[in-house]
Amino acid sequence: MIRLGKSMSLEAVSDELKISVSTLSNLERGETEMTVSRLFEMLNNYKFDILTFIQNLQSNTVVNNISSDSFNINYQENDSKLNRLEDEINQLKIEMLKLKDK
């Protein structure tokens, strides 16, 4: 939904991410498992803040504040996938803190 809200084509984004159009399409439809690193890469490409993304996931809404006509898109996520993503993000935060302390 973020990609569409920014009027970005599958082809343009797949080229930027160096993945096939079919892989990107499968990721967007939830047919391919999304990894945390891929999520970060995609959000970075869309210039969309990860914290805003997570907050909007928790309220089941993705908000595009960048376009002149900002809009809300209902975003439904499987609870187990969302919990797994949150766990992975929390683990990354812990690892970042450990690296910071070194």
Give CA angle at 38 (8, 44), nearest 5°.
50
Please tell me the distance from the alpha carbon of residue 91 to that of residue 8, in angstroms, as a whole number: 31
- How many folded domains does the chain comprise? 1
CA-based radius of gyration for the chain: 14
CATH of the domain at 10: 1.10.260
Question: CB of 36 within 8 A of CB of 88?
Answer: yes
3-state secondary structure of 72: strand
Q: What is the pLDDT of residues 11-61, one digit of tens each?
A: 999 999 999 999 999 998 888 888 888 888 888 888 888 888 887 776 655
In the chain, the amino acid numbered 9 is S
What is the model's pLDDT at position 10?
A: 92
- Three-class SS of residue 31? coil
Range of the domain at 31: 2-101
The tens digit of pLDDT for each residue in 67-88 reads 333 333 334 445 667 777 888 8
